[in-house]
Amino acid sequence: MRVPFVDLKRQYQSIKGEIDGAIERVIANTSFIMGKEVSQFEEDFANTTQVKFAVGCSSGTTAIHLALIAGGVKSGDEVITVPNTFIATTEAITHAGAKTVFVGTDPETYNLDPAKLEAAITPKTKAVIVVYLYGQPAEMDKIREICLKHDLVLIADAAQAHLAEYQGKPIADWADMTTYSFFPGKNLGAYGDAGMAVTNSEALDHTLRLYRNHGRLDKYEHLVEGYNYRLDALQAAILGAKLPHLASWTKKRQEHAASYTERLKDTEAITLPYVSPDCGHVYHLFVVRLPQRDQIRKNLTEAGIACGVHYPIPLHLQPAYKHLGYNNGDFPHAEENASSILSLPIFAELTIEEIDYVCDTLKISLNGV
């Protein structure tokens, strides 16, 4: 048996008529930049995520950059985030002219540890970017309280957390702005790059819209120098066709995660994902920790099972950030996890037979190392 890490073809085949119709509609009306497809998807996504305003962007990376600009982050400022995330989070900080400051993570959830946040705040700190890693929100009540105390802008990077909840409320309720990626493999994925920044603030919504489209709200009046960060109309139409299925796809991911947990719960060598009782985890990834990770991954690959590592090198140890002066040992939880975590296949169309095969093969492999 061969088990892919994600299978976009299966998803397409399940809604082929809707996707094809959306693409044909855009081509027929030839409105490829902005227009009705984008505004309709923004409205639908805002309603689905229970937020007032949603601003379509060209990617999840540009969504974070726009959020930083809207939050007033500028050259000389510091922005706090975590080292165990994709570089897009910190690229956006640099693009805004600010300095990245890393803070430690919770050993169970892998998210930003609020107990370590306040010590990292300096007079130059302007914002905090919290990453909802693998689909689980951080402890947002504690983090928000600290940000309010120090008058900091709070941005949530929810690239992996579409439809996640915290303490029974939509995640957009907890941050000043929340950003999403619609990279093809995400829980809600486009057929190219696309993203979204959402907020409940009318003023922030205005600034996000202004800067994502060349600093203009009207066609030829530019209030500021902005960016070409617009959401492509074709991608908006595709995402709009997929959006009504997001809730059912999310439920399937949660069911698959439960199946993995049940089948692996008595395997002592494996540390299964910890789920906070405050969180509605949406399982963009199902990540386990295990000994001799690289050998196990090799064994699974040879058995036809595709796995991933998210992420093998923490950002504070990346060559691109050598100038920040961090060293091995500065963030032990992130470093330890980088050498032991393995992402197992998980997507809505995954079958129970495939999950059984992954679990059986994983157990056999663990017994042989």
| Cα gap 35→59, rounded to integer Å | 18
CA atoms within 13 A on the CB side of 99: 14
Using the structure block, give the residue that is written with the tokens 């093969």: 361
- Do the strands 99-102 and 78-81 form a parallel or antiparallel pair, or are they unpaired? parallel
Residue 356: φ, ψ to 5°: -60, -45
Question: Mean pLDDT throughout 102-117?
Answer: 97
* E-state strands within 104-241: 125-131, 153-157, 165-166, 169-170, 177-181, 195-199
**In the predicted model, is pLDDT for residue 334 greater than 70?**
yes
If pLDDT is split at 50, 70 and 90, which confidence band does 369 have?
low
Identify the pLDDT of residue 165.
Answer: 98
Q: Token pair for residue 78?
A: 């510091």
pLDDT per residue over 291-331, tens digit each? 999 999 999 999 999 999 999 999 999 999 999 999 999 99
**In the predicted model, is pLDDT for residue 219 greater than 90?**
no
Question: Mean pLDDT throughout 134-155?
Answer: 98
What one-character DSSP code corresponds to residue 276? Answer: -
**In the predicted model, is pLDDT for residue 11 greater than 70?**
yes
**Rounded percentage of the chain residues whose pLDDT exceeds 70:** 100
Identify the pLDDT of residue 343.
Answer: 98
If pLDDT is split at 50, 70 and 90, which confidence band does 235 have?
very high
Using a cut of 0.95, tell me whether the model's pTM lies above it: yes
**In the predicted model, is pLDDT for residue 368 greater than 80?**
no
Decide: helix, strand or coil at residue 62: helix
